[in-house]
Amino acid sequence: MKVLVVKNQKDADRQGVKIFRQAYKHGARTFGLATGGTPEGLYRELCQSDLDFRDCIAINLDEYVGLDGNHPQSYRYYMQSNLFNQKPFAETYLPDGMAPSAKVECTHYNWIIATNPIDLQILGIGQNGHIGFNEPGTPFTSTTHVVNLTSSTIKANSRYFKDESQVPTQALTQGIGNILQAKQILLMAFGPEKAQAVKEALTGKVTEDLPASVLQKHPHVTVLLDEAAAALLPSEWVAEHVQHIY
């Protein structure tokens, strides 16, 4: 695991573009993408870059159940407005939150991932250590499934809705087993509210109680942090594992 700490989120976004560029140069054409506040700046930088994704495939992690792609809080809408409209991809996939059968949609989504192996997966991390919508306790072998969102996730995501009661209570998400299949993973985390989860994920026990801790087992992970998110990492650990980029 490579851990890079930069001064602030802006620097991290630029660093993220470098990682994208490097991966593309080495043949990556299938990108696993995430939504939320964390990758917004990265997508802004990608939109302004000269990178061309017209021969690429994008496969997202998750989508709310019950929101269609025209709903401004759906992840399809987010991806269109933050990236795809400006930087078209050959194909883009998100789970269908309106699918009549969630079970069929999960099988279909697993098939999409299996037939388009992800070269570079972008991840954020929840304050409880979740990745995608895989909440604490999710088996590391899980594949795409329906989740009941925890109250902490609903609360965190309510900032995008009128109020907490508007936040969907379920989502479709790639499982941890799917995420681990990606050839390379870039986990990004910014701000003091992520510091505890980052510390536990990187330096703690690998446990299903903290989903992101599984990344310690993946052979090709880069973690990109700003100073605030890295603040609780023990100094001996930092000395041994962290590269500061200023």
Give the catalytic positions in this structure.
62, 128, 130, 135
User: Out of 9, 15, 30, 38, which residue is the one contacting ligand PGA (CB under 6 A)?
Assistant: 38
Helices and strands, counts by H and E, the chain: 9, 11
- Binding of residue 36 to ligand PGA (CB under 6 A): yes
Going from the C-alpha of 211 to that of each of 101, 127, 149, 179, the distances in angstroms are 26, 11, 14, 11
| Angle (nearest 5°) at CA 82 between 166 and 196 | 65
C-beta of 125 vs 147, nearer to ligand PGA: 125
Span interacting with ligand PGA, options 30-38, 70-78, 94-102, 164-172, rule CB under 6 A: 30-38
CA distance 91 to 150: 31
Residue 32 interacting with ligand PGA (CB under 6 A): no
Whose Cβ is closer to ligand PGA: residue 150's or residue 207's?
Answer: 150
Which of the residues 89 through 128 are near ligand PGA (CB under 6 A)? 124-126
Question: Between 158 and 203, whose beta carbon lies closer to ligand PGA?
Answer: 158
Residue nearest to ligand PGA (CB): 36
Is residue 175 exposed (0-12), middle (13-18) or buried (19+ Cβ within 10 Å)?
A: buried
Nearer to ligand PGA, 24 or 41 (CB): 41
Cβ at position 35, least distance to ligand PGA in Å: 8
Buried b (16+ CB within 10 A) or exposed e, 12-45: bbebbbebbeebbeeebebbbbbbbebbebbbbb
Q: Is 136 in the site for ligand PGA (CB under 6 A)?
A: no
Q: Which residues bind ligand PGA (CB under 6 A)?
A: 36-38, 124-126, 130
